[in-house]
Amino acid sequence: MKQFIKDLILSYRIKRAIRLAEELSRFSKRRYLVLMVAGIPKVYSKQELKKMITQRKFRKGTTIQDLEKKAILITG
């Protein structure tokens, strides 16, 4: 029962993040990715991720293609 509730909460958070990414993409005409960060779905623009890669926020050798493979959703 406990795991069922956790799964419901996670699915709600994922749906909310996807909705936010699509809405932001529609208005700003940018690409957004929904990534799982510490078990929570977060929305990042592709430009933000490129900046974070250059600032070494990720492990050395991480590329934007690696992040796109791990993304739940990539807006168009």
On the CB side of 32, CA atoms within 13 Å amount to 18
Once rounded to an integer, what is the mean pLDDT over residues 14-38?
95
* DSSP annotation of 58: S
> What pLDDT sits at residue 76?
82
Q: Give me the chain's average pLDDT, please.
A: 95
Q: Model confidence over 33-64: pLDDT tens digits?
A: 999 999 999 999 999 999 999 999 999 999 99
Contact 31, 21 (CB under 8 A): no
Torsion-angle region of 61 (φ positive above 0: left; ψ -120 to 50: alpha; else: beta): left
